[in-house]
Amino acid sequence: MNTITTPPNTAPGSVHSLDLGISGMTCASCVGRVERALRKVPGVQEASVNLATESARIAFVTQVGADAAAMEALLRRAVRNAGYEPRAAGQEDAPEDLSPWAGFLPVGIGLLLSAPLVLPMIGDLFGQHWMLPAWVQFVLATPVQFILGARFYKAGWHAAKALSGNMDLLVALGTSAGWGLSMWLWLTAPSDHPGHVPHLYFEASAVVVTLVLLGKWLEARAKRQTTAAIRALHALRPDVVHLLTKQGEVDVPVSEVLVGDQLVVRPGERIPVDGTVHEGHTQVDESMLTGEPLPVARDAGAALTGGSINGDGRIVMAVTAVGAETVLAQIIRLVEDAQAAKAPIQRLVDQVSAIFVPVVLVVALVTLAGWLAMGAGLEAALIHAVAVMVIACPCALGLATPAAIMAGTGVAAKHGILIKDVQALELAHKVDTVAFDKTGTLTVGQPRLTAFEVVPGLDDTAVMAAVAAVQSGSEHPLARAVVAAAGERQIHVATAQDVRAVPGRGTEGEVDGQSYLVGSLRWMQELGVGLGPLSDRAEALQREGATVSAVAQRVTEGLALRALMAFGDEPKPGAREALAALKARGIRTVMVSGDNRGAAEAMARRLGLDPAAGEVMAEVLPGDKAAKVAALQQGTDGKHHHVAMVGDGVNDAPALAAADVGMAMGNGTDVAMHAAGITLMRGDPMLVAAALDISHRTVMKIRQNLFWAFAYNVAGIPLAALGYLNPVVAGAAMALSSVSVMANALLLKRWRM
């Protein structure tokens, strides 16, 4: 069924989004006509049509007295009135679903009927003058022209009624002219030479129709390959699950599973939906979702992602998300959104396509008139005009950009890179600076407490218990490290009261009637808390690269220092190599950290960064990261730099949005929440270089495709107008242009990390 996204409030004026499949589009001109038809519907805010996916993305506002369903009916009618057939989004035409060779029957019939017409042309090459009787040529060519070619007449007529043009109109006019000229020559042949057969052009019209049909069939097969990534993701969802009930296991459709159900997953089966391990332990293969080749251990309480493959352990899982809320559904949605979106470069193609067909018709008329003016007969002049119309079909022009985008986003998804913003894909190849958040991006993100120094005379166990109580409700990595350290020392942690987080600084709360503040040294300095006897120790820990925090207690005199805490983190495996790979591409790398400068620079050196070269930004508050990105964009050399920001996608959301390209390090649990154009499904910094490389190669394919699409027309139209190309050769060249563009885009599928 169609995908309609609605907000909770569905009153008139609510904004809706509709995905609609469209059959019958053949070229870039069709795209423009459908978009214009949809935008004329009252309430439509935006309509974007993609030729390669044969779909439309429509944003509309419901009118008074209408609902989303009524609006969908109006949109479907608009598509049908424009001459095309609306269908459910993602639903392919039935013949293509059966086998790769389904849909070849019309092409095969056309080849069989056209072959006898072409044989005389081949005989001429060897000095043999084979000529079929005129009535035989008529019998062979007419079914091809009007039965197999009926689709061109139907779509061309709708285009003509709309005062527009498309590939179908050009093919219908061109081949009809060839067929009609043949009929005229046959019927007006001199009656005093009954055995003489004039040269007819039935073979030209029949072969052109057949070649165009062959080209569209090859193009359809290629389209299926570009959408292989989507079909592979859909195939990850099993149809039946083993529901655990009081009576035992019961097999039910996955569509009936509810949140809170318990499911049995046997060894080797796919995890059907999102959930957590309730009983048992196993290894899970998540490679199709994250690109991570090695299985990961999953014990009781661990998260499970639908679509991954269970290892050799039988487990019982508790369901936490079903349907559209699962990670797999969100991933599919992201990839579909990227493939259905229109890249900025496509706007130029749309503008050209809007005037392309009318210009071609004018050129064909000028060609006809020109040859007649030069003394050529109507026969020769008409054939040259037909060749112009046939070779100029803008099929390749409409496929050049979306075909490359579909292939690029598909291969990226296969390697754990989700591109949900096509503009980010197009801009990423320009990136010359990459800014990395430190914690969780370049480092493991699981710091541990390496030192706990209390003011002399205090009980370190009591102070740690108080600190752990204040930090127990926080999700900050340093807070979790304190709680973990208290657990390792088996310290009883009380419940804190009135806990308050101070963004970018720390946490305050009360334990047993005493108020404690836990946070950065900068915060302590702002509050006027001196380090006293622990100042030398704090400097030493910072020189060692540790992140140092302090604990203060409110007393009668104000605030008094109670302890210092030092935290250490480790670089992610492969982080140093990833930064080196970016530098090898000539890309500047910068680490952005909230740590003090000593700790940040110590970690930077371990990662191969040079603090002296400005590759470290330390003591940066979360709210200031966007400003740092803007500063990197402006640069110090007076030039604008294209900056990619890589972060965890939650705390770094403003910076990700401010960057030219935002890349969110996802862990597969909150993909849809990321405020970035690109999501890296596993926390591997090497994926940053891979994403930039895919962008570069995709944009290169787009440019190559557009070059060849334009080159075919720029070179072919003059050659046809000057009489160097006959309609048969023109038809073959036109079909070849579409197939070559699709084949060139499919080369992206060979990309490897």
Could you give the residue numbers annotated as active site?
A: 437
Q: How many Å apart are CA 141 and CA 136, to the nearest integer?
A: 9
DSSP secondary structure code for residue 438 in this structure? I
Structure tokens at 199: 């040269």
Distance between first and last Cα of the chain: 36
Q: How many Å apart are CA 426 and CA 485, to the nearest integer?
A: 46
Q: Which residues contact 326 (CB under 8 A, 6 or more apart)?
A: 273, 274, 305, 306
Q: 3-state SS string over 491-520?
A: CCCCCCEEEEEECCCEEEEEECCEEEEEEE
Q: Are 597 and 619 in contact (CB under 8 A)?
A: yes
Q: How many Å apart are CA 614 and CA 402, to the nearest integer?
A: 40
Pick the closest to residue 32 from 340, 421, 356 (CA basis): 356
Q: Are 159 and 33 in contact (CB under 8 A)?
A: yes
Q: Are 331 and 305 in contact (CB under 8 A)?
A: no
Pick the closest to residue 49 from 16, 77, 86, 103 (CA basis): 86
- Where does 85-193 have alpha helices with state H? 94-98, 105-125, 134-143, 150-161, 167-187
Q: How many Å apart are CA 23 and CA 79, to the nearest integer?
A: 10
Q: How many Å apart are CA 196 and CA 183, to the nearest integer?
A: 15
Q: Are 182 and 202 in contact (CB under 8 A)?
A: yes
Structure tokens at 454: 């209390």
Q: Which residues contact 404 (CB under 8 A, 6 or more apart)?
A: 698, 701, 702, 705, 744, 745, 748
Q: Are 594 and 620 in contact (CB under 8 A)?
A: yes
User: Starting from the edge strand earliest in sequence, which strands make up the sheet with 309-310, in order?
Assistant: 296-298, 282-285, 309-310
Q: State how beta strands 282-285 and 296-298 pair.
A: antiparallel
DSSP secondary structure code for residue 747 in this structure? G
Helix (H, G, I), strand (E, B) or coil at 169: helix
DSSP per-residue letters across 311-340: -SS-EEEEEEE-GGGSHHHHHHHHHHHHHH
Q: Which residues contact 474 (CB under 8 A, 6 or more apart)?
A: 480, 499, 501, 507
Structure tokens at 146: 């009007």
- Long-range contact set of residues 631-640: C-beta below 8 Å, sequence gap at least 24: 632/433, 632/435, 632/590, 633/433, 633/659, 633/660
Helix (H, G, I), strand (E, B) or coil at 663: strand
Residue 36 burial (10 A CB sphere; 0-12, 13-18, 19+): middle
Q: What is the CA angle 87-88-89, rounded to 5? A: 115
Strand partners, 566: 451, 548
CA dihedral 286, 287, 290, 294 (to 10 degrees): 80
Q: How many Å apart are CA 485 and CA 722, to the nearest integer?
A: 84
Residue whose tokens read 């083993």? 242
User: Interhelix angle for 378-391 vs 202-226, to 10°?
Assistant: 0
Q: Are 93 and 21 in contact (CB under 8 A)?
A: no
